[in-house]
Amino acid sequence: MNSQIKKGLGRGLSSLIGETKIESKTNKLSLSDIIPNKFQPRKNFDEENLNDLVNSIKERGVIQPIIVRKSKIENTKYEIIAGERRWLAARKAGLHNIPVIITDVDDLKSLEFAIVENEFGDIGIDENILVETSEEEIIEVVNGCLCCNVRGDLTELLYDMYDRIKDFDGLIIETTGLADPAPVAQTFFVDDKISERYELDGIITVVDAKNIIQHVEEEKPEGIENESVEQIAFADKILLNKTDLVEEEELLNVEKQVKIINGFAPIFRTEHGVIDPKELINIGSFDLKRTLEMDPEFLDTDAEHEHDQRVTSISSKFEGSLNINKLNKWIAKIIDEKAVDFFRYKGILSVKGMDNKFVFQGVHMLFGGSYSNDLMWEKDEKRECTFVFIGRDLDHEALEAGFMECKAEELRFKEGDMIYANIGEFTKGKILKCWDEGNPYRVEIQDEEKKNVWVPIDDDEYVRETI
């Protein structure tokens, strides 16, 4: 399986471990009163991207405030916590003032990280989730698993980053949910150059409290490792996430099962992955001696790791927009039939009639999405829909065909047409707008109330022509 490495601006540490709440109001400061933060040592920015931001600021101004704190060195100055690129662009654009949020934040939270994300499929979704506030660099390794068939890419990537260490303070590696963490961790010990430059701080495992039991209890084919068990076993710290979806009795049972697998790692209950970064960064938790006691073959580079071949991914993409109601109806149908086999599914979607990008994600029975306030379709940007399924015994052809059926339909009616709309029974209405809020039609019912209804799909089940 071939791998591909993609680079771009990243989402930042907060998107992986939960947002850090900043309670302060927006102010304006003179650009001359703001200085770079010594803990954000990046000196070089892509000139083309920076110029694009300069042009945007000249046109619209600085929309998103930068985050600053009072300088500990120069009392009259403010240090940048997040937003150095916007600060530089504002200077180049000739601005004198910039909106800021002034806050108190410690040095840890001001650190800058490079992030390596590993996607099992051949299309990366997360790389497209870019927000203006991101200052971290994201490097995405796709079409394979870091623990085995693209492990060489990780080693090569770490080599290439030697000369760029000045651009970041730490490195976060986010593997696929199917990875065995042991071979990834091994990379930092068996290569002399890497071990000299990098120190493995700790292995953090996020456990889905709602679904973990079925995965750790799953019987795998002979010779196949249970990745869920391996990930828990090698964890230095465990985040028990989605605790808001599980009753206390079930949570206690999950914690009991996790402790049976790994009795050393502390467990943190979380909702939406929110946790103080201090619990995860600079923890010095990885213990090679304990690891070797648990797995004497940990440093054996010839040891084999074999994935469950029943688990695959399918990636699908098409140009244009979709009908979000068709997607929801299709997803609900296939999940109802085979939810246990759908481990993860996600997408970045263009919804007909909407300018915001739609971020969709699901795990087993739980799925949903929302329009992003940070991700907009630009006027000259090619609209497309990208979706990824990861699961067991997937019918690739059926999933591909089903996704394609979600394309936005050619409408049969136009504004001003009289139709019959199904509001429990078919009732006469007038089409006020086509593709309104992601729906094919907004209809005014022709009765005394003149109420508006929205038609989700343009077919005879929902709307019919008048006779």
Question: What local confidence, expressed as pLDDT, does residue 113 receive?
Answer: 63
What gap in Å lies between CA 117 and CA 146, rounded to an integer? 10
The residue among 464 and 52 whose pLDDT is bigger is 464
- Are 216 and 277 within one domain? yes
Taking the alpha carbons at both ends of the chain, their separation in whole angstroms is: 57
| Model pTM score | 0.53
For residue 86, give the 3-state DSSP assignment: helix
Give me the DSSP letters along 165-181.
GGG-SEEEEE--TT--H
Question: What local confidence, expressed as pLDDT, does residue 19 receive?
Answer: 39
CATH of the domain at 319: 3.30.1220.10
Q: Indicate whether 46 belongs to any domain.
A: yes
Q: Indicate whether 98 belongs to any domain.
A: yes
Q: Which of the listed residues 256, 283, 308 is the one where a domain comes to its end?
A: 308
Average pLDDT for residues 412-421, to the nearest whole number? 94
- Are 299 and 208 within one domain? yes
Q: Indicate whether 184 belongs to any domain.
A: no
Q: Which of the listed residues 76, 104, 132 is the one where a domain comes to its end?
A: 104
pLDDT at 251 over 90: yes
The residue among 404 and 225 whose pLDDT is bigger is 404
Q: Which of the listed residues 308, 342, 358 is the one where a domain comes to its end?
A: 308
Average pLDDT, the chain: 76
Q: Indicate whether 338 belongs to any domain.
A: yes
Question: What local confidence, expressed as pLDDT, does residue 275 receive?
Answer: 82
Q: What are phi and psi of 240, to 5 degrees?
A: -90, 95
Question: Does the CA dihedral 373-379-380-386 come out positive or negative?
Answer: positive
Question: What local confidence, expressed as pLDDT, does residue 337 receive?
Answer: 83
The residue among 268 and 83 whose pLDDT is bigger is 268
Work out the percent of the chain whose per-residue pLDDT is above 90.
21
Question: What local confidence, expressed as pLDDT, does residue 281 receive?
Answer: 77
What gap in Å lies between CA 314 and CA 396, rounded to an integer? 6
Work out the percent of the chain whose per-residue pLDDT is above 70.
74
CA 149: distance to chain centroid? 23
Question: What local confidence, expressed as pLDDT, does residue 45 receive?
Answer: 58
Give residues with Cβ within 8 angstroms of 399, minimum separation 6.
Answer: 314, 316, 334, 389
Print the domain residue range for 381.
311-404
- Determine how β-strand 34-35 pairs with β-strand 78-82: parallel
Instruction: State how many domains the chain has.
Output: 4
Question: What local confidence, expressed as pLDDT, does residue 427 receive?
Answer: 93
Pick from 10-24, 186-200, 335-349, 375-389: least confident: 10-24
The residue among 66 and 73 whose pLDDT is bigger is 66
Pick from 88-92, 243-247, 287-291: least confident: 287-291
Q: What pLDDT, in 10s, does the model give residues 48-68?
A: 667 877 887 887 777 677 878
Question: What local confidence, expressed as pLDDT, does residue 412 receive?
Answer: 95
- Are 424 and 449 within one domain? yes
Question: What local confidence, expressed as pLDDT, does residue 37 receive?
Answer: 65
DSSP letter (8 states) at residue 292: H
Comparing C-alpha atoms, which of 271, 205, 207, 276 is closest to residue 244? 271
Comparing C-alpha atoms, which of 257, 254, 262 is closest to residue 232? 262
Give me the DSSP letters along 217-279.
TPPPPTT---HHHHHHHT-SEEEEE-GGGS-HHHHHHHHHHHHHH-SSS-EEE-STT---GGG
- Are 397 and 426 within one domain? no
Q: What pLDDT, in 10s, does the model give residues 132-150?
A: 334 444 445 444 545 454 4
Comparing C-alpha atoms, which of 37, 50, 45, 27 is closest to residue 98? 27
- Are 300 and 340 within one domain? no
What gap in Å lies between CA 193 and CA 196, rounded to an integer? 5
